[in-house]
A = this chain, B = another copy of it.
Amino acid sequence: MTAKMTMAQAINSALRDAMTADESVVVFGEDVGPLGGVFRVTEGLTRDFGEDRCFDTPLAESGIVGMAAGMAMNGMRPVVEMQFDAFAYPAFEQIVSHVAKFGNRTRGTLRLPMVIRIPYAGGIGGVEHHCDSSEAYYAHTAGLTVVAPADNTDAYALLRAAIEWPDPVVYLEPKRHYFSNEEVDLAAADSTIGRAAVVRKGRDATLIAYGPSVPVALAAAEEAATEGRDLGVVDLRSIVPFDDDTVCEQVKHTGRAVVVAEAPGFASVASEIAARVTERCFHYLEAPVRRVTGFDIPYPAPKLEHFHLPDTARILDAVDELQWEEQP
């Protein structure tokens, strides 16, 4: 049951299939209706499911998320779109003070099954505010589930899973892959939230990545192979909950690890991965876990972004520094 589709189409399929399967699933946000979203992710949903199931709202992100929370309280499963990463910030209070905490506040009597879709990260030459890697804000917030697909199959599978999840999910869409065409096998998709995938087995070192950094890590591993180094790649898929078992198994196996993420490194998800892997695998490590991340700077202007983004060269440099010679 494979088909060739872009990531935007895979997400669109997931929305369609979820809306078909469950009447309480509703999609809303800015420009998601007749236009089909600025990335065409919601293409045709209003036409096919009607105004009540997929609709545009006034232009206000706190409003969108707050209204979604209320709809979830009243038995619906809203899937809302924030148009770009930085435009989710107006909704930050709603997300952190309510969406994340509501189930806890009510001791589980009112959970909020809802999905906040955020096209995130860079690599598209976008103007300022269109390329933030904002996952750390959400991952640090207890009560949120945070997932980020790296390929089109996972884009489908994880969104289906997120919509069925009993708790609110921040679903991060690596926007630079929206239009990448891939063979997708919807039936074979692993829709387990909380499970990382070993997307490449390796003996020498483990690259740990998620979202848009996974393809970069894979490319680095390819390149390393030509130089005789065997690198494994773990795709987290789910940042929260975090799959310690899968990640640590690989790291223990290889004794060396590099974390790859686009976001600025300071107090980031990459920091967490480095810290927790070290805590759990310390005596297996031949070298400190290295982080290859964005610099600690605001996302740069389009002509400068290539300096900022982790690339294969930078990953391979980090791998080279994993103290392959005996240390003093």
Contact = CB atoms under 8 A, between A and B. Distances in A.
Interface of A: 62, 86, 89-90, 92-93, 96-97, 100-101, 104-105, 128-129, 136-137, 139-140, 142-143, 240, 242, 263-264, 266-272, 274-276, 278-279, 282-283, 285, 287-291, 295-298, 327-328
A240 B269 contact: no
Nearest to A297: B142
Given A89-B93, A129-B97, A136-B267, A288 B278 contact: yes
A304 to B, nearest CB: 12
A327 B139 CA distance: 33
A96 B89 contact: yes
17 contacts: A62-B90, A86-B93, A89-B96, A101-B298, A105-B128, A137-B137, A140-B140, A140-B264, A140-B267, A142-B264, A142-B298, A143-B298, A242-B266, A266-B272, A267-B269, A271-B276, A283-B328
A199 to B, nearest CB: 22
Contact of A100 (B274, B290, B298): B298
Nearest to A62: B90
Contacts of A270: 275
A291 to B, nearest CB: 7
Kindly report how many copies of this chain are found in the complex they form together.
Answer: 2
Contacts of A272: 266-268, 271, 275
A139 B105 contact: no
Nearest to A100: B298
Contacts of A289: 275, 278-279
Interface centre among A62, A101, A140, A327 (most CB of B within 10 A): A140
Identify the 9 closest CB pairs spanning chains A and B, nearest first: A92-B92, A89-B93, A282-B288, A274-B275, A271-B271, A267-B272, A140-B267, A271-B272, A139-B267
Nearest to A283: B327
A101 B301 CA distance: 12
Contacts of A267: 136, 139-140, 267-269, 271-272
Nearest to A328: B283
Contacts of A137: 137, 140
Nearest to A102: B298
Nearest to A103: B298
A137 B96 CA distance: 11
A128 B274 CA distance: 31
